[in-house]
Amino acid sequence: MSEPSIFTRILQGEIPATIVAETERVFAIQDIAPQAKVHLLVIPKTPYRDVPELAAADPALLAEMVQVASELAAEHADGDFRLLFNTGSGAGQTVFHVHAHVLAGGDLGEKSL
Ligand code: 5GP
């Protein structure tokens, strides 16, 4: 079996983190290196590798992540937010346990489209 991801280790209490939300299937933490005034990570407890794998296996769980992100943006900022899934190392994914970056709080800069 592969090693538990850093997020699984946080969930199990082995590594400290600020947990800002938790449901039966999802939890959310503050990013350790925030790139915006509000930078949270919404993470399913089941460690799917990336968002395509998650979407194919359990679309309701992906929808729950979006719902939690939306609630957190309302709680921690004015409700507006950017949701980002880095997918693959070439796109900047460094933790291969799917997570949504929730960026909010204004001054998010230009969209890199
Ligand atoms: P990725 O680059 O995979 O899209 O995002 C991984 C994110 O996890 C990064 O923004 C990084 O700062 C965050 N991160 C990595 N290790 C830890 C940790 O131990 N604690 C917390 N709270 N965030 C982490």
Model confidence at 1, pLDDT cuts 50, 70, 90, reads low
Q: Band of the pLDDT at 113, cuts 50, 70, 90?
A: very low
Nearest C-alpha neighbor of 51 from the set 95, 3, 4: 95
Give the residue, out of 6, 7, 31, with the most ligand 1 atoms within 8 A of its beta carbon, to mutate for a pocket test: 31
**In terms of pLDDT, which residue wins out, 4 or 2?**
4
User: Angle 76-34-102 (CA atoms, 0-180°, nearest 5)?
Assistant: 50
Look at residue 10 in the predicted model and tell me its pLDDT: 98
Nearest atom of ligand 1 to the alpha carbon of 85: 4
The percentage of the chain sitting over the pLDDT mark of 70, rounded to a whole number, equals 96
Q: Which atom of ligand 1 is nearest to the CA of 30?
A: 22
Q: Which domains does the chain have, with CATH numbers?
A: 6-104 (3.30.428.10)
Chain segment 45-82, per-residue pLDDT in tens: 999 999 999 999 999 999 999 999 999 999 999 999 99
The count of other CB atoms within 10 Å of the CB of residue 71 is: 14
Average pLDDT, stretch 95-102?
98
Strands (E), the chain: 19-22, 26-30, 38-44, 82-84, 100-104
Bridge partner list, 22 = 27
The mean per-residue pLDDT over the stretch 36-42 comes to 97
| pLDDT at position 28 over 90 | yes
Produce one character per residue of 95-107: b if its CB has 16 or more CB atoms within 10 Å, e if not. ebbbbbbbbbbee
ipTM of the modeled complex = 0.99
97 is catalytic: no
Alpha-carbon distance of 65 to 27, in angstroms, equals 9
